Structure 1
Amino acid sequence: MLLTVLLVAAVVINAPSMVARGYGFYYRLTVNRLPQMTLAGERLLVLSPHPDDESLCCAGAIQQVLKRGGEVWVLWFTSGDGFEWDAALLQDTLRPQGRASLELGQRRMGEARLAARRLGVPPDHLIFLGYPDRGLRALLERHPQGTPYRSRLTLVSHVPYADALSPGAPYTGESLRRDFRRVLERVQPTLVLAPSPRDAHADHRAVGLLAQQEVAAGRLRFWIVHGGLEWPLPKGLHPQLPLEPAPRGKGLPWQRLPLSPEERTAKLEALQAHASQMRLLARFMQAFVRQNELFSPRGE
């Protein structure tokens, strides 16, 4: 019995053509009933907890704002230096702490710049904060001020990247909040795309809650990347299929943003720029290249 269940699960998750066609038939009807989101000449700020989130959630939205005469900024809260498996693989070490994790952060920032260039975002509209990957929630909740948080992977307690907004800033919630306010003051966004506080990743939830505290509700739209229950299904590249709301986003008022074939192609090219992540997570990342992206005016 258990073997049968595992085999069926494997088929559904990997979704060969017959299962994918059934999936597409069911969810195309469901997603097409959602209200359609339109974007005009916005001053768009995309909040990305890690390098690659900006492409997973919002590559289509970024393209559409730029095509319609708007401006786009991308703000990365961390440099992705806490992905232990990735650092171990790239540096060929079983102890990816210190230098190995910092070098991963530098690499992922370079990949993020390449992805943004492929989407048409100007280099001077890319902002890195350099706060600790997998540590944002701790900064805001347990280290609001005073003694800084220390990353167990990079082994530092301050922003270590020279090209960040505030190099050397201590890992405290006060520093993070101050830098975020500086960016909001500089950009003056009319629309902010932020991770939902329902997202399964703690860094995503922390950024979503911070956005709710610092940005007027009418300017916010939320997205989910870590949606629970193996979402999105099927894994792999299926650009002809719709992206349905994530299980963790059940009950939220989702809006769909349709993407053209050309926009889907550019989204895939942006994801491929995150080469370090594609080595380990290609099928998960490709599963976001769909007919649409999804955003909600409510985060939770």
Structure 2
Amino acid sequence: MPRLTRRPRRSRARWLPLAGGVLAALLAAWINSPLVDRVVGAEGARVAALPSAPPFQAGERVLVLAPHPDDETLCCAGMMQRARAAGAKVYVAWATAGDGFELDAAVTERVVRPRGQALRDLGKLRAAEARRAAALLGMPPGHTFMLGYPDGGLFRLFTTSYAQPYTSPRTGADAVYVPGALTPGVGSTGRALEADLGRVLDRVRPDLVLAPAPQDFHPDHRTLSYLAMRLMSGRGQEGRLRYWVVHGGLEWPLPKGLHPAEPLTPPPLARHLPWARVDLTPAQVARKRLAVDSYRTQTRLLGRFMHAFVRRNELLSPQPSDDSPREQGTGP
């Protein structure tokens, strides 16, 4: 009787490239489909109908508050260039060093489950990338402030860890450790973060503060928005705030990848804010792409998302909510 032999099972790994190729082809087909073209085209017409934001003025002092390194570039690299071209002075403050992205640290530091030192090393690397991006956008070192509080922990600082230091479960740090921080070694408390933001406001004396909108999906962004509103209203200067969004809803912005000739459309989570359009020149768009690409730790994993912000315009809202009345039965 002939001996039966089992057919060798194909390795699952052999199918992964094929599966990845099929998924990529389907995604590309969807992005390039007529339906997406119609959606993007309709949104483009809406962007064109938005009012233009008031121009920056010579002598103005403009402060960008960024939750993480790269947010300032995604939201506002074009505006920062426009402000400087108009003769304004531009400043940036980063609330965190972006040390909470574990997958990023796994790739960058080549460790399976990054914790502690690997993530602190990532924070130092991202802080260095932030300084490079700011330099590309024309800002001298004295115009940047790294605060260095825990990535992913700002809401805890704002609430339960306002007075007592918060220990990051990712880095293990309970104090600011990033070289060049505004107050190195200070405990990670909400009180210390608020004091640092107050120091930045005292030094810059901004005429305009560009801050994340409270509708942004990321909790660090929302928390920094609340802090900015509280501090500026406490100074009687809430009218100097302007708002932007980076995490604006599922799949926004579309299409993913680099499309510099396309408009940046209003984010779904903040669609009803009174957005204004900031048009960019081709040179400003090109410089924004260089600043985005300086964040190599991020673009290797999130490049298609980040490049989707390199568009012919940026968006800014003069207020954090839409107070205009709506007809009954309309959408939210």
Cα shift readout 1:261-297 (whole Å, capped 9, x = no counterpart): 1110000000000000000000000000111100111
Cα shift readout 1:73-108 (whole Å, capped 9, x = no counterpart): 100000000111101111111221111001101100
Give the counterpart of 1:148 among 124, 149, 165: 165
C-alpha contact (below 8 Å) 1:139/1:171 kept by paired residues:
yes
Which residue does 2:175 correspond to in 1?
158
Give the counterpart of 2:46 among 30, 43, 63: 30
Which residue does 1:296 correspond to in 2?
317
Distance 2:78 2:139 in 1: 12
Which residue does 1:10 correspond to in 2?
27
**Mapped pair 1:211 → 2:255:** no
Look up the equivalent residue of 2:293 and give its one-letter code. Answer: Q
Shift of the alpha carbon at 1:162? 3.2
Which residue does 2:68 correspond to in 1?
50
TM-score by length of 2: 0.85
C-alpha contact (below 8 Å) 1:51/1:112 kept by paired residues:
yes
Give the counterpart of 1:251 among 260, 272, 277: 272
**Mapped pair 1:202 → 2:202:** no
Which residue does 1:286 correspond to in 2?
307
Distance 2:111 2:186 in 1: 29
Matched position secondary structure for 2:278: strand
Shift of the alpha carbon at 1:21? 4.6
Which residue does 1:3 correspond to in 2?
none
C-alpha contact (below 8 Å) 1:222/1:299 kept by paired residues:
yes
| Contiguous gaps of at least 5 residues in structure 1 | 1-5
Distance 2:262 2:44 in 1: 7
Distance 2:319 2:27 in 1: 33
Distance 1:36 1:29 in 2: 14
Which residue does 1:225 correspond to in 2?
246
Moved more, 242-251 or 33-42: 33-42
Matched position secondary structure for 1:75: strand
Distance 2:41 2:294 in 1: 31
C-alpha contact (below 8 Å) 2:275/2:317 kept by paired residues:
yes
Give the counterpart of 1:139 among 148, 152, 157: 157
Larger radius of gyration: 2
Cα shift readout 1:145-174 (whole Å, capped 9, x = no counterpart): 1x2100011101010123100011111111
C-alpha contact (below 8 Å) 2:40/2:254 kept by paired residues:
no
Shift of the alpha carbon at 1:34? 0.8
In angstroms, what is the RMSD of aligned CA positions? 1.8
* Cα pair distance change 1:221/1:64, threshold 3 Å: same
Look up the equivalent residue of 1:25 and give its one-letter code. Answer: G
Which residue does 2:100 correspond to in 1?
82
Shift of the alpha carbon at 1:19? 5.8
Distance 1:104 1:276 in 2: 8
Distance 2:208 2:274 in 1: 17
**Larger RCO (CA within 8 A; separation ≥ 6):** 1
Which residue does 2:255 correspond to in 1?
234
Which residue does 1:118 correspond to in 2?
136
C-alpha contact (below 8 Å) 1:79/1:133 kept by paired residues:
yes
Distance 1:123 1:67 in 2: 18
Distance 2:95 2:190 in 1: 12
Identity of aligned pairs, percent?
Answer: 48
Shift of the alpha carbon at 1:217? 1.9
Distance 2:224 2:112 in 1: 30
